[in-house]
Amino acid sequence: MPMRPLRSHQREVATIVAAIASGEAGAVRDILAAVTPGGGKSLLPVIAARALIAAGLCERVCWVVPRDSLRLQAEEAFADPAWRAALGHDLSVRAAENLPGDPCRGLAGYVTTYQGIAAAPDLHLAAFRAHRYLIVVDEVHHLPALGQGDGAGGGDPQGEASAAWSAAIEPLLACAGARLLLSGTLERADGRRILWLPYRTSGGGGGRQEVDLAAPGWAVVGYSRARALAERAVLPVAFGALDGESAWLGPEPEGGGERPRLGPHRLRAVAPNESTRPALFTALRTGFAGALLRRSFEAARRLRAERRGLLGPGATRGLGKLLVVAPDQVQARRYLDILRGWVPASQAGSMALAVSDEKGAHETLAAFRLTAEPSVLVTVAMAYEGLDAPEVAVVAALTHVRSRPWLEQMVARATRVDPNAGPYDRQRALVYHPDDPLFARFRWRMEREQGTRAKPPHPPRQARLALPGWLEEEMAEARERHGIVPLESNALALRLSTLQPGPDLAAGLAAAREPDPQGELLEPPSVAERRLRQRLAELVAGQAVEDAQEGGKGVSVAPVPVAPRGAGLFHAYNAALKRALGGKPRAEMGLAELEAALEWLGRNRLRDHLHLLEGDHRYGWAARKRGEWRPPVGRPAALWGGGRRVEAGRRRAGGVPRTG
């Protein structure tokens, strides 16, 4: 297996943790890695854990991620065989749930979420007090600093949730033996300080607070987009800006009457004005969205056809995928319907939806990352941050969010280098977006960082666009019926910058049929645990069915105990297995324990261990209710939870209750 070279920021972190492990770093126990989105943060926890655990400074690692869909990716970072060989480590972590017991289950660490810690803070704090942990906080900018009145959240539900996360995670940071904080940005959209980071007052006056990069006890590693491009760690971005016009109904006049028709207004303007956001709001919900979606879809289709010609007609990986970011879940479903209308019914399965309200959304995200299909994914926010899907080559930015950190994360979904797509020079990231002045500012900054030609935007009229009060309150989807009413929009012109699209080759969006095997990628621990638990359940059910068939309607054909048939028998066998294995629930077992349980079950019949249920009335009750049981041979019915009804039945039938 070829060895992968470390990037400069990864080498820097390796040097820092080596110095901490050897004692040369003095009191340094905090590492801040500010890495541009897509620059490769996921390897840094592996590098740090390997060195600090080997040196005995830490015993375990806890990796905290902002959303559940990222837990599996964290497991995969430790399980990746190429990095195991390159770094010479054998550490494994598991995606933990808030179940009682050791969250590591005997492994080197565990992965959890902000929400998971906030839901059971005592569980995680007990683990940190029992062992010295390296704590890794991913995308730490989501966590606001507490104190000085910051903890209330200002009445904003999202702000209150973030403050609750910070309050639960801060004690873990204080208990940890070492800390690794990761982020693609060192600023929050609301201007608040970030949890745990050191701050100082800016020397420029005005009392502005900024991160203190030279604070004692801290080591700071930066990896900018320009540096990542120079090392070919990320792809340059080409932007396709689509202009259009929108018209909508404004708010009701105070004196009553009809709502005024506003527009048509152009999206593209010299500077943001009062019509910018409502025009964008309308465009994303009417005809303009379909036009931008069509251009993104055709660009992805051309790219896949071009790469299929270069990679070969049988290629299924590396062809490029399309990610559509919608403004809300209603529009996401509408966009998916539009996309599926452009392909034959047989290809509808190549397009998928991943939103929080959709069943199986996390499985859909995993399939989008790891398999050839789906090749088109529509989402809102689940996939914008941290999604490691190098095959994404085209992004349709149909979102009204204009926060720079948010947009950087979204664009970064397409800037990862795809090892299956051919040489670096032949790869590109293409982002289609509305040509509004707010996005233009962001695009100009990114184009300047990557060294491509970009005209600076016109100077803004004011530092922050002051929106009318009615629009600030009514832009929310839940209040849409009281606010602006989108009427219509149309696309006018497409403006490409920094890169021209690929040649116009005729081809269809041929979906890959068979996903490639994952090679030598080790099975993540949480996936292995689920598989082993499922296998145990199947074996228990199999024994229950076999024994019920042998015993007929409560009549044993062998000198062994016969427990109740059906669901009662299955639950009784599960209880007997639990007692035979020492009383530990399977949900709390680690991999080694689950494997041992499978081996035990392969050598034993649960019907021979039903005596372990003596005195437990729960399983006897299920049996008596069915009237399909008899007590174990040589054991009184009272041991099965019998009472008056059982004794009466035994007297009527000479020791065996009637079978109905």
> In Å, what is the CA distance from 570 to each residue of 513, 536, 558?
39, 12, 19
State the Cα torsion 284-285-287-289 to the nearest 10°: 30
The reported pLDDT for the residue numbered 201 is 84
The reported pLDDT for the residue numbered 599 is 79
pLDDT band for 155, please (50, 70, 90 cuts): low
- On the question of pLDDT at 626 being above 60, the answer is no
Mean of pLDDT values over 24-52: 92
State the Cα torsion 144-145-147-151 to the nearest 10°: 20
- State pTM to two decimals: 0.68
Mean of pLDDT values over 476-501: 55
Q: Lowest-pLDDT range, 90-104, 240-254, 446-460, 493-507?
A: 493-507
Q: What is the pLDDT of residues 214-253, one digit of tens each?
A: 899 999 998 988 888 889 999 999 999 999 999 988 888 8
The reported pLDDT for the residue numbered 477 is 37
Mean of pLDDT values over 596-601: 84
Mean of pLDDT values over 391-400: 94
Task: Decide: helix, strand or coil at residue 31.
Answer: strand
The reported pLDDT for the residue numbered 254 is 79
- On the question of pLDDT at 302 being above 70, the answer is yes
Of the candidates 302, 247, 234, 319, the one whose C-alpha atom is nearest the C-alpha of residue 278 is 247
Q: Lowest-pLDDT range, 249-258, 374-383, 437-446, 508-517?
A: 508-517
| 35 neighbors 47 (Cβ within 8 angstroms) | no
Mean of pLDDT values over 378-390: 78
The reported pLDDT for the residue numbered 386 is 63
- On the question of pLDDT at 331 being above 90, the answer is yes
Mean of pLDDT values over 552-573: 52
- Of residues 459 and 183, the one with the higher pLDDT is 183
- On the question of pLDDT at 211 being above 70, the answer is yes
pLDDT band for 597, please (50, 70, 90 cuts): confident
Of the candidates 139, 114, 189, 179, the one whose C-alpha atom is nearest the C-alpha of residue 37 is 139
Q: What is the pLDDT of residues 50-98, one digit of tens each?
A: 999 999 999 999 999 988 878 888 888 999 888 898 899 999 999 998 9
pLDDT band for 288, please (50, 70, 90 cuts): very high
Q: How far apart are CA 277 and CA 279, in angstroms?
A: 5
Structure tokens at 109: 């660490």
- Of residues 584 and 461, the one with the higher pLDDT is 584
pLDDT band for 383, please (50, 70, 90 cuts): low
Q: Could you tell me the sign of the dihedral formed by the alpha carbons of 648, 654, 656, 660, in that order?
A: negative
pLDDT band for 47, please (50, 70, 90 cuts): very high
| 28 neighbors 219 (Cβ within 8 angstroms) | yes
38: left (phi over 0), alpha (psi -120 to 50) or beta: left
The reported pLDDT for the residue numbered 158 is 64
AA identity, residue 404:
R
- Most confident residue range from 230-239, 439-448, 455-464: 230-239
The reported pLDDT for the residue numbered 460 is 40
Mean pLDDT of the chain: 78
The reported pLDDT for the residue numbered 435 is 92
pLDDT band for 36, please (50, 70, 90 cuts): confident
Of the candidates 438, 443, 395, the one whose C-alpha atom is nearest the C-alpha of residue 416 is 395
Q: Lowest-pLDDT range, 47-51, 115-119, 232-236, 586-590?
A: 586-590
Judged on CB neighbours under 10 Å (0-12, 13-18, 19+), 464 is exposed
Q: What is the pLDDT of residues 363-380, one digit of tens each?
A: 888 889 888 999 999 998
The reported pLDDT for the residue numbered 94 is 93
| 474 neighbors 484 (Cβ within 8 angstroms) | yes
Mean of pLDDT values over 267-293: 89
- Residues facing 594 on adjacent strands: none
The reported pLDDT for the residue numbered 297 is 96
Give the DSSP letter of residue 146: P
- Of residues 94 and 456, the one with the higher pLDDT is 94
497: left (phi over 0), alpha (psi -120 to 50) or beta: beta
The reported pLDDT for the residue numbered 566 is 44
**Longest distance between any two alpha carbons in the chain, whole Å:** 98
Q: What whole-number percentage of the chain has pLDDT above 90?
A: 38
Which pairs from 586-589 meet CB under 8 Å and 24+ separation?
586/533, 586/536, 587/99, 587/533, 588/99, 588/100, 588/101, 588/105, 589/105, 589/529
- Of residues 144 and 655, the one with the higher pLDDT is 144
AA identity, residue 549:
Q
